[in-house]
Amino acid sequence: MYAIVRQYTYDPATIARAGQALAAAQGLHAAQPGYAGGIVVDDGQHFIAVNLWQSEHHAAAGRAAIGTQVQRLLEPLMATPSQLLGAGEVVATDLADHQ
């Protein structure tokens, strides 16, 4: 499994009206081959998003397929550009398989 971790700084007033755009971005990810799920943490000022993929190849293909669309959806909601915090192989997880 491969993970990409990004931080998105948002304006709370803007994000309060952003449900459709956030759901659309999630839907784009979920439709990609090799997408294994995600976690988004809201600390009150940032979203910290962890996107999980079956492999680095799947992550790269997903980004190529939907990167521009996701950016177009999320960029207007953010106070600053997203920041890549890290990417790499998942070495441990205890996430339950809910499928």
* pLDDT tens digits along 28-66: 999 999 999 999 999 988 999 999 999 999 999 999 999
Smallest Cα–Cα separation from 70: which of 26, 39, 32, 33?
26
Q: Among residues of the chain, what percentage have pLDDT more than 70? A: 97
Q: What backbone torsions phi and psi does residue 92 show, to the nearest 5 degrees?
A: -160, 140
